[in-house]
Amino acid sequence: MDRRAFLALLASGVVTLPRPADAQPAGRVYRLGILAPTTAPSPSEQNIAVILIPKALREMGYAPDRDLAVDARYADNRLDRLPALARELVQLRVDVIVAIGSAAVRATMAATQTIPIVFYGNFDPVAAGLVKSLAKPEGNVTGVLIAPAGTLAGKKLELLKAAVPGAVRIAFLAPADPGIRAQVQETQQAATALGIRLTVTEVQAADYERAFTTLTAERPEALFVAAHTFFVRDRKRIIDLAAKHRLPAMYEWPEHVQDGGLMSYGSSLAGTTSRLAVYVDRLFKGARPADLPVEQPAEFQLVINLRTARALGLAIPPALIARADRVIE
């Protein structure tokens, strides 16, 4: 995270700095369950929620093998496996479950009505029927959202159009997840307003090569990558294929741009996972999920990679560069 974004997050309360006094009392081991629809991260993977959440807890004073145990379950991109994995976590009698993505939340809610659940994702939890309201979620569920009031899809598409002014055909890369429908609809509405022809291509069984073959057949002038945990986990493959097909692309996180993607707009992965860790800590210590409002980010970053733009032969308009919170030269 760049210094300006970090200071903004700090000022807004999104980043909670660890304090030595926060070290946990001896004798109690807290068990955190994590349910993710993706595959398990590789040893080299760092910028992913399932890694950053335990890391944030360690920075708050929790120590593995002393007062923190983490039980993670991964569905290997098969959403139908989530219910059984959620039941496994319940049987382990974990203290809190972090559910990543709406499908994982539904599976966990079906498995327990007593263990606190903290969701993390880019969806409308009220419209999805997961909570009664953001201010008063009720039940055993609360969470931290990646984007407020929708999925930011409209704003992202507007910025992508500004980066590629001549684009009239834009491809939308979507995961095979029913929970993505609201994001697709929001993007389609924005495309209509901008006079853009949007073609949606769904990635089946993590076959990105086939998906790119399908979407490039429509001869798009730019690519919009949906915000989804699958695409965070597989971002390197997507970025490489976008470069291969010379497609300027909009991504979800600054980490995508650091890894070679063209641009991103949204909240901070480090900031949102830090807030989620704060919620886990409060639930460990006896807070009720119903008393913790669903948290929404307040700070957003536009990040542009000019090295990638040059490799694509794309001249980013100076006015857009001036709007960026961070520019990678």
pLDDT of residue 200: 96
Residue 226 has pLDDT above 70, yes or no: yes
Q: What is the pLDDT of residues 262-299, one digit of tens each?
A: 999 998 888 899 999 999 999 999 999 999 999 998 88
Whether the CB-CB separation of 41 and 51 falls below 8 Å is answered with: yes
Count other C-beta atoms under 10 Å from residue 316's C-beta: 22
**Domain positions in the chain:** 3-146+267-291, 153-266+301-328
Position 25 scores a pLDDT of 52
242 sits in which H/E element? helix 235-244
Q: How far is CA 217 from the centre of its chain?
A: 28
* CA 204, 272, 171, 128 torsion-angle sign: positive
**Which residue carries 């139908």 as its tokens?**
80
Q: Which two tokens stand for residue 294?
A: 């669903």
Give pLDDT tens digits for 164-191: 999 999 999 999 888 888 889 999 999 9
Whether the per-residue pLDDT at 158 is higher than 50: the answer is yes
- 142 vs 47, residue with greater confidence: 142
pLDDT digits (tens, 9 = 90+) for 78-96: 999 999 999 999 999 999 9
| Domain 153-266+301-328 in the same topology as domain 3-146+267-291 | yes
Q: How far apart are alpha carbons 251 and 165 in whole angstroms?
A: 18
- Does pLDDT of 261 surpass 50? yes
Q: Can you name the residues that pair with 303 across neighbouring β-strands?
A: 264, 326
Task: Reply yes or no on whether the pLDDT at 17 is more than 50.
Answer: no
Banded pLDDT at 20 (limits 50, 70, 90): very low
Query: Do residues 25 and 281 lie in contact, with contact meaning Cβ atoms separated by under 8 Å?
Result: no
Do 303 and 257 contact (CB within 8 A), yes or no?
A: yes
Mean pLDDT, rounded, of the chain? 89
Asked if the model's pLDDT at residue 324 lies above 50, the reply is yes
In sequence order, what DSSP letters do the residues of 132-200 get, joined into one string? S-SS---TTEEEEESSSSS-SHHHHHHHHHHHSTT--EEEEEEES-GGGHHHHHHHHHHHHHHT-EEEE
Q: What is the mean pLDDT of residues 58-70?
A: 92
Which CATH entry fits the domain spanning 153-266+301-328: 3.30.450.20, 3.30.710.10, 3.40.5.10, 3.40.50.2300?
Answer: 3.40.50.2300
Provide CATH code, domain 3-146+267-291: 3.40.50.2300
- Parallel, antiparallel or unpaired: strands 326-328 and 263-266: unpaired
Q: Give residue 149's pLDDT.
A: 63
